[in-house]
Structures are given as C-alpha cells and as structure tokens.
C-alpha cells in the first residue's frame, strides 16, 4: 500500500495566507500563526503571529494584535502591532494604537490615542494583559462628563 503524503503545515508552507472573505462575519477570537487577510468582518479579537491585512471592505470590531498590519478598512478597539502598522488612505480607525512604527497615508482617518516607538519584541500574552488592565475609552468619557 502506498504511503499517503503528509499534509503541509503552516511551518512548511512559506507565505501561507489565511482569508476571511467579503460577506463573512466571524464572532469571537481569531488566532493564526501565519498571515491573514480580512475582507469580511471580525467581531472580537484577532491575534496573529505575522501580518494582518484588512482590506478596504474589511473591518475588525475589537482588539487587533499582530506583528505587522496593513489597514485599508476599519478597526474599532485596540491595535497592538509590535512591528509596523500602515494605515492606508481608505482606513477608518477608532482605536488606541500601540506600535513600534506607524505609517499613515493621506486620507486615512484616525481617532483615538497612539503610543509609538516604545515597543520591543512583545508576546501576545503581554499585550493581552496590558489591554485587560486598561480602562475603556467610554470610562474616560463617563468620568469627564460627571
């Protein structure tokens, strides 16, 4: 009997890209060990040990944690990128950003806070702890309104 070939794993397939297609909605935590392209909508957390590409029609309503990210769509929540974050001209961001390097193209819309240049190589667990200990933006608005 002939031996069946072993299916490739993410570590043996260089350049593998996971995809969330347009019209697809994912709710919950999305974790990937390789790059991901989001053309649909993610409601929850995206944790990627690699690059996240959010297409113009894509959106993330929640936390985005990645090594690098290119955003042409929208993100509302927290963005933690240990490498380079690129906000394309069509990006719509309402988030607290922490990144080592930031590139903003003309036309991108950003509302929120940004901390840049202080990140070192950070593990996702360290970032998750940081996010869970931070008050949400609504908490600041409520405190200042009273």
Q: Is residue 62 included in any domain, yes or no?
A: yes
Q: Is residue 96 included in any domain, yes or no?
A: yes
Q: Is residue 86 included in any domain, yes or no?
A: yes
State which residues form the domain around 52. Answer: 17-115
Q: Is residue 41 included in any domain, yes or no?
A: yes
Q: Is residue 78 included in any domain, yes or no?
A: yes
**Predicted confidence band at 49 (pLDDT cuts at 50, 70, 90)?**
very high
Note the Cα 67 to chain centre separation in Å: 9
For 31-42, how does the pLDDT look when each residue is reduced to its tens digit (9 = 90+)?
999 999 999 999
Q: Is residue 76 included in any domain, yes or no?
A: yes
Q: Is residue 60 included in any domain, yes or no?
A: yes
Structure confidence at residue 77 (pLDDT): 96
**Burial class, 137, CB count within 10 angstroms (exposed 0-12 / middle 13-18 / buried 19+):** middle
Q: Around Cβ 61, how many Cβ atoms within 10 Å?
A: 14
How many folded domains does the chain comprise?
A: 1
Q: Is residue 133 included in any domain, yes or no?
A: no
């Amino acid at each position: 009997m002939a031996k069946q070939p072993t299916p490739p794993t993410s570590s043996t397939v260089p350049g593998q890209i996971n995809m969330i297609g347009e019209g697809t909605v994912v709710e919950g935590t999305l974790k990937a060990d390789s790059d991901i392209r989001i053309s649909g909508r993610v409601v929850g957390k995206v944790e990627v040990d690699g690059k996240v590409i959010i297409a113009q029609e894509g959106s993330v309503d929640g936390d985005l944690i990645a090594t690098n990210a290119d955003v042409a769509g929208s993100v509302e929540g927290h963005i933690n990128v240990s490498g380079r974050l690129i906000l394309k001209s069509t990006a719509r961001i309402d988030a607290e950003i922490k990144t080592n390097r930031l590139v903003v193209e003309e036309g991108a819309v950003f509302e929120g806070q940004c901390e840049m240049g202080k990140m070192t190589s950070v593990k996702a667990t360290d970032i998750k702890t940081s996010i869970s200990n931070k008050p949400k933006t609504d908490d600041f608005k409520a405190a200042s309104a009273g």
